[in-house]
A and B are shown apart, each in its own frame.
Chain A
Amino acid sequence: MSAQPTAGIVDASARASLWLQPHRIVLIVVALALFAAAAMFMRWDWIPQYYDLALQGIWRTLWILVVTVILGFLLAVPLGLAQAAGPAWLAIPAQAFCTVIRGTPLLLQLWLLYYGLGSLFPQFPWIRQSELWPYLRQAWPYAVLSLTISYAAYEGEVMRGAFAGVPRGQLEAARAYGMSRWKVFRRIWLPQAFYRAMPTLAGETVLQLKATPLVATITVVDIYAVASRVRQDTFIVYEPLLLLALIYLIITGIIVFAFKKLEARIPVRIA
Chain B
Amino acid sequence: MSDSASTSLATAETQNGAAEAIHIEDLHKKFGQLHVLKGVSLSARDGDVVAIIGGSGSGKSTLLRCINCLENPTSGIIRVNGEEIKLKADSHGHTVPADRRQIERIRSKLGMVFQNFNLWSHMTLLENVIEVPVHVLGIKRDAAVATAEALLDRVGLADKRDVYPAFMSGGQQQRGAIARALAIQPRVMLFDEPTSALDPELVGEVLKVIGDLAEEGRTMILVTHEMKFAREVATHVVYLYNGLVEEEGPPEQIFGAPKSDRLKQFISNIH
Beyond A268-B166, A269-B166, whether A178 also contacts B121 by CB under 8 A is no
Binds A, one of B32-40, B42-50, B107-115, B208-216: B107-115
Q: List chain B residues, Cβ under 8 A from A30.
A: none
Q: Decide if A176 touches B107 in the complex (CB within 8 Å).
A: yes
Q: Are A177 and B118 in contact (CB under 8 A)?
A: no
Stretch among A179-187, A212-220, A247-255 lining the B interface: A179-187
Q: Is the CB of B135 within 8 A of A187?
A: yes
**Is the beta-carbon distance between B136 and A176 smaller than 8 angstroms?**
no
How far, in whole Å, are A251 and B70 apart by their CA atoms in the complex?
49
Inter-chain contact B121/A177, CB cutoff 8 Å: no
Smallest CB gap from B183: residue in A: A177
Decide if A271 is an interface residue (CB 8 Å cutoff). Answer: yes
The reply to whether B164 and A178 form a contact with Cβ atoms under 8 Å apart is no
Docked CA distance A113–B135 (Å)? 44
Verify B112–A178 contact, CB threshold 8 A.
no
CA distance A66 to B135 in the complex (A): 32
Contact of B122 among A172, A173, A270 (CB under 8 A): A270
**B166 and A173 contact, CB distance less than 8 A:** no
A170 within 8 Å of B (CB atoms): yes
Whether A177 contacts B112 by the Cβ 8 Å rule is yes
**B122 adjacent to A195 (CB under 8 Å):** yes
Question: Assuming A187-B131, A270-B166, A271-B166, is B112 touching A176 (CB within 8 A)?
Answer: yes
The answer to whether A267 and B107 touch across the interface, beta carbons within 8 angstroms, is no
Number of interface residues of B (CB under 8 A): 27
What's the dominant secondary structure at chain A's contact region? helix
Contacting residues of chain B (61-111) with chain A, CB-CB under 8 angstroms? 68, 70, 100, 104-110
**Interface size on A (CB < 8 Å)?**
24
A172 and B70 alpha carbons, distance in the complex (Å):
7
Known contacts A178-B1, A179-B136; is-contact A188 B70 (Cβ 8 Å) = no
Distance between A185 CB and nearest chain B CB, rounded to angstroms: 12
Chain B residues positioned under 8 Å from A269 (CB to CB):
166
Chain A min CB distance to B176 (Å): 12
Give chain B residues whose Cβ lies under 8 Å from the Cβ of A268.
121-122, 164, 166
A contact set with B: CB distance below 8 Å: 167, 169-170, 172-180, 183, 187-188, 191-192, 195, 266-271
- Ordered by A's residue number, 24 sampled pairs between the chains whose C-beta atoms are within 8 Å are A167-B118, A167-B121, A170-B119, A172-B70, A172-B114, A172-B118, A173-B119, A174-B120, A176-B68, A176-B110, A176-B112, A177-B112, A177-B136, A177-B184, A178-B105, A178-B136, A179-B104, A179-B136, A180-B1, A183-B136, A268-B121, A268-B122, A269-B166, A270-B122
Question: Knowing that A177-B112, A269-B166 are A-B contacts, what are 11 other residue pairs whose CB atoms are under 8 Å apart, sorted by A's residue number?
Answer: A167-B121, A169-B114, A176-B70, A176-B110, A177-B108, A178-B104, A178-B105, A178-B132, A180-B100, A180-B104, A268-B122
